[in-house]
Structures are given as structure tokens and as C-alpha cells.
Amino acid sequence: MEDRLSALPDDLLLQIVTLLPLIQLVRTCVLSRRWSRFWTRAQILHVIDKEVDAGGEPDRFALVVESILSAVYTSRLGRARCDFQISISRVDNFDAQDLMSWARRAADLFEGDFKLSVETETESEGGEPDPDEEPEIFELPYFEFAKQITLTLSDRFLHLALPTGAGVFASLTKLVLAKLHFADGAGAALSDVVSSRCPCLLSLVVRHVYGVTALTLRTASLTQLTLLCVYDLRLLDVVALKLRTMTVECCFVDSKGAELRICAPLLLKFNWADCCPESTQVGPTDHLKLLVVGENPPVTWVHAGFTAHSNFDMILNHVRRTQVLELHLPIHPELQGHGKLMEHIVLPNQYTELNLVVEPNGHMFGMSMFKLLKRCVGLRKLHLKLSKRKGDTTCLSCIFGNPQEWKHQEILLNSLEHILVSDFSDNSHEVDVINSILKCAPSLQDIGIEVAHGVKVSKDTVLHFNEYHLVNFFRKGERPMEYYYSGTW
């Protein structure tokens, strides 16, 4: 039988065999001399402990990783231009010394991305862990040539320390730290590493991280910053001259005593879903195109023995100019301050588009929304998205008011030209809200309504809306191009 596979050129053969998991790919070396080091030319070397059969040998996985690193070292004339990744799910397959040894060797061997993922279930590995057991410390070495580093260390007895001695991450453009604890006092080093040791860093992502109480960044290269659930944070101080996108969510547990200072003159998109710290300074924001402000439900912010909304809206006091304003407003009447949340929001001085994401949760929202729209002078585009309902929004005794108090009122929306409604369910309250907006918008040019999945719009609703303006109804995924008015729609 003709061996057509061996007749293929090396580049094409490499593309085919590298589709295999790494362990199977390494086994191809026994096929022929030509294949003996073929696998070392793969673009990604990803070692996964679940793919390694221990065979009763406790150090089997460690031996496999060492063998792969040694083979790469002996087969290359210089550093490997590929990514190196290690994924561990079993607690008996590593210790901190192994991880540090592999990381140091990877820093010398590879010019591509480095990814280390340790996600173990400690409780399932031999019963309850000893609460007095000291966590092991994984100290990340300097990677002079890596373009991207991603660390996920969710094992509770493995904590992270960043390098503090002389060195630099000279080529690093993206750093991702996820699901990890910093060692005691080690979180402070993150500020220094990003500010002084990463001259080319473009993107920093920190999510679900403990042990960082203060983050002070001084960077001339960073363009994207994402902070999600940095649980111990009390101070965020950022001076980033090239920053374009910034996201802060669920980092400040309490505003009292917390500090926020942001100087990012070229910021284009700012996403805030968090408490607003007691001391806040943001600006200038002359180039801001999209400001997204919201509260991540369900909100259970506990302070002084009661629950209240997280005062997320207070950030609007400090950002006074944007092209598009997007508000995420979950309605939780059980939380103090939510009854008149929309009525008390301070709007920026300048904006022309409003994306209003409302989560009714079984309550009326029309009266509060109209009090918000009364202050939207100069509004040209409105996108109303109705999200995550719990039941029908027809609560006649709702704390948000009887529709008779607002649906016949007139507000001045003289500049409003375009309306888009998403996830419309055709209940009576939503119909009343849209009708009232249509009556108050004499300059309206078009309106599109995206119907929720499984909802059939009644003929009465269509006729009712068309008394004021011809309305285009469509399903999700069928939105006509004319309703994409901006990049956010």
C-alpha cells in the first residue's frame, strides 16, 4: 500500500499532526526518523495531566513535563517560537517547586505565550484539608521573551508571588491573573511589576483575585484594563496615557474609606459595575465614546446591618461627558434606595445616545423611567432593552407607581429620532411605556422592536403603535441593518 502521508511536505504534515493532543503527538516520534522531533515544531505545546496515564507511578506527570522541556531544549537552535501551556486538575500532580522549575525553564526556552492553569478540587483529594496547613508559594519568574502570560491558580493551598528582584518582562503585551490568592503581602508587587517591569504591556486582566488591597498603575503603554472581583481592593490609582478601555466590576465591597483615581485622557470606553468609592476622581474624559454604568444583580450589599443598592450610579457624578451612555438598572425593591433609583441618577452633561437596560423582575418601571427621560435633553437615539424578567411586569400594587400617574404625561423628547426596543414581550406595561414614548417624540424617524423568543405580538399592539409611527417588528438575529446606529447597538 502506498504511503501517501509520508509523501506530504513537512509544512502540510505538521498542520495535520498538530491537531492531535500533545501526548499523542509526541508518540508519533516512533514512526520514523523524520517524525522523531516533528512534534517540537508545533505552534502550541499544551501538557494536560488528564491525558497522562500515571500507571501507578506518582511522579509520572512531572516526568512527562520534564521530558518535553528537555526534548525542546535539545531539538532547537535557539528559543522555540511557540506557546507552552500546562493544565493541572489533580492535586497529586504538582508541588510549588515543580511549577517554579517548569516556569523558569519555559522562560528560557520559549518566545511564545505561557499559560499555567492549576484548578484542583482539594476536598475530593483525600477528605477535608487541614486548615492549619501553610499554602505553598509559586513565585513567577521573569519572562523576557513571552508575549502573553496567563495564570490560573485556584487551588487554595497554592498562592502567587511576583518577582521583586532585578529583571523585566521585556516583550509581554498581555497579563492575565485569574482565580488566585496572592501570598501574604505579595499583592503590592503587582503595581510595581505593571508600572516598572512591563514596558510593552497593552492589556492587564485581573479577575477573581484575593490579596490586592491597593493597585497603583503608572504606565505609558497599557491600552486595556479589566478588573473583575478583585475582592480586597481599597485603592485604585491609575495614570495610563494610552488607555482606551477600562472595566471595573465587583471590586469595592464598601465605598466608605475606598479611593479611586483615574487619569486616562484617551479613554474611549469605561465600564463600571461597582460601588463608587468615597473618594473618587476621574478625568479628563474628553474622548469618551461609551460609558457603561450598572449594578450586577442580584445585589446583596450588606452595610451596617441592612441591604441597599451599591451606589454604583454615583460614578456619574465624576464622568460628565460621553457620546453614548449605557445604564444597567436591575429593579430590586427589597433593597434600600432602589425605589427611586432612576429618578436620582445624575446624568452627564453631554451625550446623544442612551442605552437603557432594565431588568423589571416582575415590577413596573414606567414611572421611574419617565422621570429619567425628562432629564434627557438633546437625546437622539434610545435603545431600551428589557432583560431577565421574573414573571409578568403587571404588578398593579408595585412600589414603582400606578401607570395612570405617568402614562398620560408629556415629556419633551423633541430631538429623539431613533428608537430600538429589545426583548419585547408584549405585556400591557411594556405597551404603555412604548406608547407614551411615541407620543412625546415628534421628530421620530424610525422605531424597531426586537420581539422576545416565543412571543407573538398581537394585532392590537401593532395597530396601537402604528397610530403614532410605523413600527418594524423582528426576531432576534433578524435585526435590519438600519437599526445598527452605533457600535453598541
Nearest Cα to 169, choosing from 142, 196, 140?
142
pLDDT tens-digit readout, 24-53:
777 766 666 666 666 777 788 899 988 886
3-state class (DSSP) for residue 164? coil
3-state class (DSSP) for residue 98? helix
pLDDT tens-digit readout, 253-281:
888 899 999 999 999 999 999 989 999 99
pLDDT at 475: 84
pLDDT at 403: 54
Q: What is the mean pLDDT of residues 168-178?
A: 97
**Residue 162, CA distances (Å) to 40, 224, 443, 451, 458 in order:** 29, 21, 58, 50, 61
For the chain, the average pLDDT equals: 83
pLDDT tens-digit readout, 420-443:
999 998 888 889 889 889 888 999
| Percentage of the chain modeled with pLDDT above 90 | 44
Reported as half-sphere exposure (CB side, CA atoms, 13 A), residue 295 has a value of: 28
**Residue 266, CA distances (Å) to 117, 156, 330 in order:** 34, 39, 30
Alpha carbon of residue 453 to chain centroid? 26
